[in-house]
Structure 1
Amino acid sequence: MAGYLVEDSRKVTTLRLKEMKSQGKKIAMLTSYDFTTATIVDAAGVDVILVGDSASNVMAGNQTTLSITLDQMIYHAKSVVRGVQRALVVCDMPFGTYQVSPLEGVSNAIRIMQQTGCDALKLEGGVEIIDVIRKIIDAGIPVMGHLGLTPQSINKFGTYAVRAKDMAEAEKLLQDAKLLAEAGCFGLVLEKIPAALTQKVVESVDIPVIGIGAGAADGQVLVVDDMLGKNKGFSPKFLRRYADLHTVITDAVGSYVSDVKNSSFPDSTECY
């Protein structure tokens, strides 16, 4: 277990994340969608576990995150929460659950918190959804913002390319980041934007900024299945693979199939 840099075994809270930023301590964040994976990720020392709507892609094979429903997100988040002792668990509010009205957004946010036991929620967008963010925070629910490439808006963007490369979009993102911080968000994810812009945001807000494909920040987040190398078909520039589970699992399953076919499994020690 050597090398896992967990200095404090207490439960991670939104307050502790802000303290980590002020102390210059980096924040490690990963996704999880099920009990077993969450248990491992938590024990390995991750500070924040995101139950991402990326479950739509990773767990269900959909092309976008738009297909996943509120009930499905609640199922995944409940499963994750059961496996976590230390990490802060953040659940994505899926597409369509907070864009219609602040009232509906607050109602859905309360339902997620009540039925999952997660610690906080994440919403995509800036000024366009600031009213619902304020209402959710007013209801006592911690909110993490998400700017840059926001996958729930993929049909509007029409591409997964880097965002905020032009001056106008970069300035809007910076202003949105400040607005989210002022509204009371405890943290902010920046996805797929220029590293120099990320640095401006980090210096402009007093809340932790977590990057994914956005250069150095107060912390980083990756999709757990991507960083474990389960998916060989997804290789963006920002992804660092820490394992090759695609090969490991394929070899293990292949060995199992061979052992069953040649009658070497089970042997006498594996029978009652």
Structure 2
Amino acid sequence: MTVGMYHNRPTVADLRARKARGEKLTMLFVETPDEARAAAAAGIDMLSIIAPFWTPAMRAAAGECFVQVGLLYGELCTGEDYLRAAHAAMQSGGDCVYCSASLDIQKLLCDNGIPVVAHVGLIPSQCTWTGGFKAVGKTADSAKAVWDHVKRLEQIGCFGAELEVVPDRVAELIARNTPLLMLGMGAGAHADAQYLFAEDVLGHGTNKQPRHAKRYRNFASEFARLQDERIAAFGEFIADVKTGAYPAPEHCVPISDSEFDAFRAALES
């Protein structure tokens, strides 16, 4: 039985209609129910949640957000692997799946009626072919290769594609000339959705913040303060145990004098 039927959250058809109307969408990569819950409360349109974090608790926390479930490239190998994982993701309340595998595997998912988001431009799992973690599409040939990739995704039936770290003018031309929902990450203002990682928005990532990210809060300093408070609290606990301040009478279970006397009498007998 499918978990979390649509209710009021958008469908693929809804998002396509919003693209056609020129509406800009917002999207976050989240890893915890708290992040998903906050995104839903704020009104974020789409969430990306990778398979290890995708749970019934995450579906519930995501509320009316459209959720893309990321299928893990490298952990899944065959078309059957991906197909089983994609069906499981959809049956547990996913709205589409992200797949960066080969075109034939992506087509297999599409042919089975699963909405598929692919990946073009800088594809982290395959970036050795394009020179590493750097922008793609800065030459005419490279931009044309991104365009051709998008057109192949159209032909096999994909619903959308992450468009990562390409020049804004290239992204604009592509987004305006494809029915695919282009989820822009470092692709300028003209992608159909602006996609960031929650850890970058909140400012607690451990990796170097990418150029396209914007930090709206500084959770790192708050987490550091909380860690200092944890250490201090644990130290106070140690001190209380050593001095006898803990446990105090209010932390202990009482027994009446009569019952305790009866208990001791029973032992003595």
Fold shared by both chains (TM-score > 0.5): yes
Amino acid at match of 2:71: M
Match of 2:174 among 183, 196, 201: 201
Check the 8 A contact 2:73/2:99 in 1, yes or no. no
Aligned residue for 2:12? 14
Aligned residue for 2:140? 167
Give the Cα–Cα distance (whole angstroms) in 2 for the partners of residues 11 and 117 of structure 1.
11
Stretches of structure 1 lacking an aligned partner (at least 5 in a row): 1-8, 53-72
Which structure 2 residues correspond to residues 180-191 of structure 1 after superposition, within 5 A? Answer: 180-191=153-164
Are residues 1:96 and 2:74 paired? yes
Give the Cα–Cα distance (whole angstroms) in 2 for the partners of residues 35 and 271 of structure 1.
33
Check the 8 A contact 1:133/1:143 in 2, yes or no. yes
Check the 8 A contact 1:31/1:51 in 2, yes or no. yes
Amino acid at match of 1:201: I
Give the Cα–Cα distance (whole angstroms) in 1 for the partners of residues 134 and 175 of structure 2.
22
CA displacement at 1:81 relative to structure 2 = 1.4
CA displacement at 1:190 relative to structure 2 = 0.3
For residues 99-126 of structure 1, the C-alpha deviation after alignment (integer angstroms, 9 at most, x for no partner) is x544443233223333x4311101226x
Secondary structure in 2 matching 1:210: strand
CA displacement at 1:167 relative to structure 2 = 2.1
Are residues 1:122 and 2:122 paired? no
Aligned length: 236
Amino acid at match of 1:181: E
Aligned residue for 1:62? none
Normalising by structure 2, we get a TM-score of: 0.78
Are residues 1:110 and 2:87 paired? yes
Amino acid at match of 2:67: V
Secondary structure in 1 matching 2:18: helix
Normalising by structure 1, we get a TM-score of: 0.77
CA displacement at 1:157 relative to structure 2 = 4.2
Amino acid at match of 2:109: I
Match of 2:61 among 68, 79, 83: 83
Amino acid at match of 1:37: E
Secondary structure in 2 matching 1:240: coil
CA displacement at 1:161 relative to structure 2 = 0.8
